[in-house]
Amino acid sequence: MIQGIIFDMDGVLCDSEPFITQAAVALFRERHGVAVQGDDFLPFTGMGENRFLGGVAERYGVRLDLETDKAFTYARYLDLISGRLQPLSGVAAFIAQCRRMGWRLAVASSADRVKVDGNLAELGFGGTAFDAVIDGSQVARKKPAPDLFLLAAAQLGLDPAGCVVFEDAVAGVQAAGAAGMRAIGVRGAFDDARLRAAGAAATVNDLTEAAEALARLG
């Protein structure tokens, strides 16, 4: 029986990946003099900015100062999303439907708090839109470890088995499974085959299809 819905943020509630990738490319170019490609970041999507930046840095032999480099990246990112970041199709309607069903709602993102709060504010989902908001700084292990989702369930006061996760990344789907939750994959950076191979019970194009996918879960 479904009692709660947990949303990953990037790629589920909004498409912020182009903006954070653009900011990260600028970081390597302007602070380290290295020309990286947007696709270089794809293997590290959904793992938090330490790994998102760090994985590419390792590939190019760049030594990061995470504190200052992340500060640069986030400042550029928040400037880029201002007035431009929008909820993905079906997000607002599905959140309203979940509320009518009496389900508790959480966001669980591997991103740092500055990015999570910046996104939610830009999307108009601040305040009481969600019962819990979990960011990557609150856990020792990021996705694909289950820590983020387990903390979200705990803050919602729910058994993990009663929660369904909406995720667009392979690492996030794996994390949901490790937490004992069912996952519905949102196709985008990863296709149906890769999301299902990671353990997704179903996949959708976006949250306009979420209610139908939940109904099929039983």
Active site residues: 8, 10
CA dihedral 191, 107, 115, 9 (to 10 degrees): 20
Cα separation, 62 vs 88, in Å, equals 34
Cα separation, 28 vs 36, in Å, equals 7
E strand intervals along 40-114? 104-108
Cα separation, 14 vs 110, in Å, equals 14
Secondary structure letter of residue 14 according to DSSP: B
Which of 142, 117, 124 shows the shortest CA–CA distance to 47? 142
Radius of gyration of the chain (CA): 17
Cα separation, 27 vs 39, in Å, equals 15
Q: What is the distance, to the nearest Å, from the Cα of residue 173 to the centroid of all Cα atoms in its chain?
A: 11
